[in-house]
Amino acid sequence: VLLLSDELMVRHDPGPGHPERPERLRAAQAALEDLEATRVTPTRATRAQIARVHEESHIDRVDSLHGRVDALDPDTSVSEHSVDAAYLAAGALVDATAAVTSGDDKRAFALVRPPGHHAEAQVAMGFCLFNNVAVAAAHAVAELGLERVLIVDWDVHHGNGTQHMFEARRDILFCSLHQYPFYPGSGAPDEQGRSAGEGYNVNVGLPAGCGPGDYLAAFDDVVLPIADAFAPQLVLVSAGFDAHRRDPLAGMELESETYADLTDKLLSVAERHADGRIVLCLEGGYDLKALGQSVRACADVLCGVAAPGANAEPTRGADAIAKTRAVHRPRWSI
């Protein structure tokens, strides 16, 4: 297992009182301090790598904020080291993806800030400057020769940026589970991709109050069967931990152990189809204790610790899961 992180990403500071704070990364790093993994120092993403998914004008805008304290939008602020941190976060995902694709270690966890999944091609959004996972997925196809990449996004917020970047493609399948309706507003079940990518964008929009059984059922009934039919050569995970019951920003009820079960299920997909290649990427998660415990639960599974194997009994989420199944049944036989 490869573990990628760097002190520079702790030094990205959106300002006093901001939930996406430096202590988040410290808590995640501390939780993995004694993990038996190979520590890798990430390198910066290149402009060309980022430009596969972002417009040049957006990269210019981010570059113009180098070394400054400023804001890209009301939620998304930068400090002196933020632009460097953003390049390093995207680079960590590129490095992790390249390593698991060509090296002996097939599993990686990238602990990064700023997060990425809300960043759109043209603009920063929702604490995110560059879309780290999207940069990695595009790199895997363009540079590493992969033909099918699966991105699963279990952050409690919809991964709008990732969806929009890949919704017209069928080589990168995006699957998001999120609280719905909720920030950022997108992620309805009928947002299923367009033109060549129709059916390759999967949204499970769950009502507030969903717990472990709902998420596990959504995996068993939607995510896993579609993933098995798609047969990805790489599994990327936008791993936010803000669906945890302790999280202050959202209204879901997951336990830290739930994330071990979700990781275990995606690991099984990677083992069946992708030569075991899987990369977890930190997104949100705003309660420090929940974040540390959940990150550790995922990392332990990557290191071979057995997951709890909780029961997949949906409660509040049953209707939402049924809606997504109905949208995608024709293509994926789910």
For residues 70 and 14, give the distance between their C-alpha atoms in angstroms, rounded to a whole number.
9
Determine if 264 is a binding residue for Zn ion (CB under 5 A): no
Q: Active-site residue 118, yes or no?
A: yes
240 in contact with Zn ion (CB under 5 A): yes
Taking the complex as a whole, the smallest distance from the CB of residue 300 to Zn ion amounts, in Å, to 22
Q: Rank residues 157 and 325 by Cβ distance to Zn ion and give the closer one.
A: 157
Interaction of residue 161 with Zn ion, rule CB under 5 A: no
- The site for Zn ion, by CB under 5 A, has a size of 5
Q: Residues in the chain, how many?
A: 334
**Applying CB under 5 A, which of residues 116, 199, 284, 314 lies at the interface with Zn ion?**
284
Min dist CB 2 to Zn ion, Å, is: 24
157 is an interface residue for Zn ion by CB under 5 A: yes
Q: 155 or 214: whose CB is closer to Zn ion?
A: 155
| Residue closest to Zn ion, measured at CB | 284
Min CB(206)–Zn ion separation in Å: 13
Classify residue 140 as exposed, middle or buried by CB count within 10 Å of its CB (0-12, 13-18, 19+): buried
The residue annotated as part of the active site, out of 12, 58, 81, 118, is 118
Cα distance between residue 304 and residue 309, in whole Å? 14
Which residues make beta-bridge pairs with 205?
A: 178
Q: Count CA within 13 A, CB hemisphere, residue 327.
A: 20
Q: Select the span of 68-76, 93-101, 199-207, 279-287 touching Zn ion (CB under 5 A).
A: 279-287
* Binding window for Zn ion (CB under 5 A); candidates: 59-67, 227-235, 272-280, 284-292: 284-292
Contact present, 124 and 314 (Cβ < 8 Å): no
Q: Give the C-alpha separation, 223 to 190, whole Å.
A: 16
Alpha-carbon gap, residue 302 to 319, rounded angstroms: 32
Smallest CA-to-CA distance from 291 within 244, 330, 235 is with 244
Catalytic residues: 118
Q: Which chain residues interact with Zn ion by CB under 5 A? A: 155, 157, 240, 242, 284
